[in-house]
Amino acid sequence: MPRPGAALLLCLVLLSLPEPPAAESPLQLPTPQNVTIYSYNYQNLLTWAPVKVDNGSVLYTVQYNTLACDWWEEINCTNITKTECNFTDPDIKRFWTITLRVRAELGQVKSDWVETNKFVADKNTTIGPPVIVNVDSTPDSLFLNFLHTVKEDTLQYLVRYWEQSTNKQHETEWTKNTRIGLLNLKQLTVYCFQIRAKVQVFDDNIGPLSKTKCHKTAASGAMRAGFVVVIFVAATVTVVILAIVCFLFIQKFHQVVKYWFQPPFKIPPHIGEYLKGAEMPVLEELQNNCAEEDPWDSLSVFSSAEESQSLVSDTLNTNVHSNSRSIESEKT
């Protein structure tokens, strides 16, 4: 048996020896960065920056839990290659308070989990403005008809409006109706408006205002009648002025107008060819006579009553003699 001193010395030597190196654990992936939740009209999206590695394709897994349940559950984002996860899941209620977490995986190598802040869709989603379908205009009001992509009974709407020429703004009351009237307006005036929506919860989630749109109010019946009268009077005055201008133009340029409507006589070409073959220069004589003649505008006949009666009697006697002569010739 070894002596006690030797045994003690051996124990001291063994204790002084360094410990053997432990087995190396696999390398750990870096955690995803910039983990952010985006939510618009209850469409929920979790995004993060990609984890870069030298070799291989990194996969990601997303889980969630609620205040009522202390364990983590998977959603439709397990072993995915995309750096985003749409967690608009009907099983995840809008009023639940949830927390999400994401990690990177490369084979057996995994990163640590990265958790998000607590998220409640009813409070944290952005409620966008509704879409205006049409605007009905009357002389003293505008009626806005709109729809929203979110079908939720807790949605309410408000309209901010103002006259385009001023900066004084007005707001309607919050209402669930999808038709809002802007009343007591000026006729034939342009008004601009914006609309917004909110979710009525414990802390109201009010969405942003829509883009500015403008519309003009209509005219009243009396004003439309006045416009018709003004247009009729203006048209009548215009016609009278044009008639006076035309009359003065004709009076001043009488010869020119007469020349336009009574151009110089010209012998037709086929008659001219025929006359060229005649012995007498008839064509030249006709043309010269026509050029020298000044056509009359009117013809006036003045006669006394006695001359008219004698003219009628002479005409009748002439007709009787001519008829008797024709009858005698037929007998012979």
Tokens of 326: 């024709």
d(CA 298, CA 21): 138
Please state the separation of Cα 102 from the chain's center in Å: 44
How open is the CA angle 64-69-71, to the nearest 5 degrees?
60
Alpha-carbon dihedral 241, 243, 246, 251, rounded to 10 degrees: -110
Tens place of pLDDT for every residue, the chain, 332 residues?
445 444 445 444 445 555 544 333 457 899 999 999 999 999 999 999 999 988 889 999 999 999 888 899 999 899 999 999 999 988 888 889 999 999 999 989 999 999 999 999 999 999 999 999 999 999 999 999 999 988 888 899 999 999 999 989 999 999 999 999 999 999 999 999 999 999 887 678 999 999 999 999 998 766 565 666 677 778 888 888 888 888 777 777 767 766 676 666 666 777 767 666 654 555 556 555 554 455 544 444 444 444 445 544 555 455 545 545 554 554 44
In this structure, are residues 83 and 48 in contact, taking their beta carbons and an 8 Å threshold? yes
| Nearest CA among 264, 270, 269, 262 for reference residue 287 | 264
What tens digit of pLDDT does each residue of 205-258 get?
A: 999 999 999 999 998 766 565 666 677 778 888 888 888 888 777 777 767 766
> Is the pTM value of this prediction over 0.85?
no
Residue 101, classed as helix, strand or coil, is strand
State how far Cα 13 lies from the chain centre: 92
Which helix or strand (DSSP H or E) is residue 309 part of? helix 305-331
C-alpha torsion sign, points 222, 226, 228, 232:
positive
